[in-house]
């Protein structure tokens, strides 16, 4: 089994946190000792009010709050800009050691990315980091969350093409807010054709569990 999976999205607000929470919940219910980690969260004044707090509440995991996030910014902007405004820029060595600690305490870690694949994490005179640098540093495979609706073929196609260019492995897709309409069904077919990646789950609006087959779960776990 791998040590974790890096949940990325085609952008912000596509459902990375929503889906991560359901994935952590599914793994916990399957008897795994699963943890959550996010390097940088913007737009929250405390961990309980952030993505991490949401995941903890939905999944029922007992992980201590301060281990779930390394950098928390109040301003709802990309981490690179939040750090310019508030200080405390992301240090990749700290992210790696914080993640390794969570990985040591759990069988498996669900790591959530910030924004989309081109999200700037730090940009100052000292260092420039994008989300892909965090993914590469942690050495994890990715799981791509996309909204199932209009625009998803383009958004997924461009993201997957970028991931391939950067040699970042992706295990599959999670299509969020999916319904059985002709457009959503065709989006799924076109996305699979375009990327060659499997759709591991289609998540309906207001889903309270992840419709994940045992094979899809094993693919995410890397077994």
Ligand X SMILES: Nc1ncnc2c1ncn2[C@@H]1O[C@H](COP(=O)(O)OP(=O)(O)O)[C@@H](O)[C@H]1O
Residue 206 within binding range of ligand X, rule CB under 6 A: yes
Q: Does 16 bind ligand X (CB under 6 A)?
A: yes
DSSP 3-state assignment of 127? coil
Active-site residue, 38 included: yes
Burial of 107 (0-12, 13-18, 19+ CB in 10 A): middle
Compare residues 51 and 147 and give the one whose CB is closer to Mg ion.
Answer: 51
User: Contact region for Mg ion (CB under 5 A) — 17-25, 76-84, 172-180, 192-200?
Assistant: 17-25
Cβ burial of 148 (10 Å; 0-12, 13-18, 19+) is buried
Count, in order, helices (H) and strands (E) of the chain: 8, 9
Site size for ligand X, by CB under 6 A? 14
**List of residues 6+ apart from 94 with CB closer than 8 A:** 70
The single residue among 177, 184, 188, 221 that binds ligand X, judged by CB under 6 A, is: 177
Is residue 98 involved in binding Mg ion (CB under 5 A)? no
Task: Count residues binding Mg ion (CB under 5 A).
Answer: 3
**Active-site option among 38, 56, 193, 221:** 38
Under the binding rule (CB under 6 A), the answer on residue 203 touching ligand X is yes
Other C-beta atoms lying within 10 Å of the C-beta of residue 157: 15
The site for ligand X (CB under 6 A) is made up of: 9, 12-18, 176-177, 203, 205-207
């Amino acid at each position: 089994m791998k040590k974790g999976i890096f949940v990325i999205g085609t952008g912000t607000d596509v459902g990375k946190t929503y889906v991560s929470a359901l994935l952590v919940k599914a793994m916990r219910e399957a008897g795994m000792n699963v943890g959550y980690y996010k390097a940088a969260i913007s737009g929250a004044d405390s961990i309980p009010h952030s993505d991490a707090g949401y995941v903890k509440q939905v999944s029922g995991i007992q992980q201590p709050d301060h281990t779930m996030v390394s950098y928390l910014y109040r301003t709802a902007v990309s981490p690179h800009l939040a750090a310019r405004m508030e200080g405390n820029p992301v240090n990749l060595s700290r992210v790696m050691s914080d993640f390794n600690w969570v990985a040591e305490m759990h069988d498996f870690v669900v790591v959530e990315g910030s924004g989309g694949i081109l999200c700037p994490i730090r940009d100052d005179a000292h260092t420039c980091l994008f989300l892909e640098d965090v993914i590469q540093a942690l050495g994890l495979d990715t799981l791509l969350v996309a909204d199932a609706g209009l625009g998803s073929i383009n958004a997924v196609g461009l993201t997957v093409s970028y991931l391939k260019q950067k040699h970042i492995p992706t295990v599959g897709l999670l299509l969020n807010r999916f319904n059985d309409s002709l457009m959503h069904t065709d989006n799924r077919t076109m996305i699979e054709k375009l990327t060659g990646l499997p759709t591991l789950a289609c998540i309906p609006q207001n889903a309270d569990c992840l419709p994940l087959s045992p094979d899809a779960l094993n693919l995410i776990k890397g077994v």
